[in-house]
């Protein structure tokens, strides 16, 4: 098991371009399996009308945009966020289409294909760029994770692969869920996705800690935080290749509705 890599390790050692290697879609990386699973679910969730609204906040966006590609079809305003500056900057570079920005084209094309027209990928990139209103600093351990900024509660929260990286144990995970829930309107939706069973992931040569998650724990933590689970999809994985990079045993995709403020 990797030692816990807290905020300071992220600031000092998390290299966005190394992390983005996972997202070279179609090149047989571990990210291919994850993207194939989650993009299908994001598409279903955000384009069939079940989860819509005005504002969506993404918690711990990292340097990635895959999690927002279908969401920008049903939300007018998106707020991205992350704990470390280098991820916010990498994201900004992509949104401004600056030289050297990561090429998301294969992922965007795949999402457009799922949504019905692969040829709309350039349009989709423009739509996402228009929807993302700001990229904020965020710390899920603060009672207002966007402190010092106070925003009106959002209609939807998305968070992918973030809480298991930020939280050392079950109790801080539950607290972080409570903290991010304060950014969501009662009746709003939380869309959580990630991997199950892994205790670390590699970013280039650096090993980062993951809190080992199980379906049972996630279900309990969400209900204890006042969420009603509407969808909980798990895809188990028994492939033991690439164990040295990340040895996850499954992937999950959750849609939960905030029933009450705890
Ligand atoms: N959401 C992205 C990135 C996941 S990697 C994706 O789906 O690929 C884990 C992310 O959690 C990193 O971007 C890291 O900076 C962020 N993170 C780590 N500690 C955090 C904290 N305390 N608050 C918010 N984000 C944190």
Residue 245 has pLDDT above 90, yes or no: no
- pLDDT score of 69: 98
CA distance 124 to 108: 7
**161 C-alpha to center of ligand 1: Å?**
7
* Cis amide bond preceding 79, omega within 30: no
Ligand 1 near 137 CB (within 6 A): no
CA distance 67 to 60: 11
**119 C-alpha to center of ligand 1: Å?**
31
- Which atom in ligand 1 lies closest to the alpha carbon of residue 194? 7
Q: Is 5 exposed, middle or buried (0-12, 13-18, 19+ CB in 10 A)?
A: buried
14, 38, 234, 155 alpha-carbon torsion, rounded to 10°: 90
- Which atom in ligand 1 lies closest to the alpha carbon of residue 166? 19
239 three-class SS: coil
CB 23 within 8 A of CB 31: yes
CB 188 within 8 A of CB 56: no
CB 83 within 8 A of CB 138: yes
Per-residue pLDDT reduced to its tens digit, 190-242: 999 999 999 999 999 999 999 999 999 999 999 999 999 999 999 998 776 67
Per-residue pLDDT reduced to its tens digit, 30-78: 899 999 999 999 999 999 988 999 999 999 999 999 999 999 999 999 9
Q: How far apart are the first and last CA of the chain?
A: 33
Confidence of residue 261 (pLDDT cuts 50, 70, 90): low
Ligand 1 near 40 CB (within 6 A): no
Per-residue pLDDT reduced to its tens digit, 89-102: 999 999 999 999 99
- The residue whose CA is least distant from atom 7 of ligand 1 is 160
């Amino acid at each position: 098991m990797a030692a816990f890599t807290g905020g300071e390790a992220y600031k000092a050692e998390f290299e966005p371009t190394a992390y983005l290697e996972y997202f070279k879609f179609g090149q047989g990386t571990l990210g291919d399996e994850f993207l194939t699973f989650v993009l299908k679910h994001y598409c279903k969730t955000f384009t069939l009308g079940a989860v819509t609204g005005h504002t969506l906040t993404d918690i711990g966006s990292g340097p990635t945009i895959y999690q927002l590609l279908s969401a920008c079809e049903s939300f007018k305003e998106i707020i991205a966020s992350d704990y470390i500056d280098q991820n916010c900057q990498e994201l900004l570079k992509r949104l401004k289409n600056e030289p050297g920005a990561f090429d998301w084209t294969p992922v965007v094309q795949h999402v457009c294909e799922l949504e019905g027209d692969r040829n709309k990928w350039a349009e989709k990139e423009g739509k996402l760029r228009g929807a993302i209103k700001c990229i904020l600093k965020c710390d899920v351990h603060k009672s207002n994770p966007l402190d010092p900024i106070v925003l009106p509660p959002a209609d939807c929260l998305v968070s992918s692969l973030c809480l298991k990286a930020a939280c050392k144990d079950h109790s801080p995970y539950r607290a972080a869920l409570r903290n991010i829930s304060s950014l969501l309107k009662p009746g709003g939706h939380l869309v959580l996705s990630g991997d199950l069973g892994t205790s670390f992931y590699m970013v280039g040569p650096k090993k980062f800690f993951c809190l080992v998650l199980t379906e049972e724990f996630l279900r309990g933590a969400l209900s204890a935080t006042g969420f009603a689970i509407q969808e909980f999809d798990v895809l188990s994985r028994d492939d033991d290749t690439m164990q040295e990079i990340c040895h996850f045993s499954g992937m999950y995709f959750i849609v939960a509705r905030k029933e009450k403020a705890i």
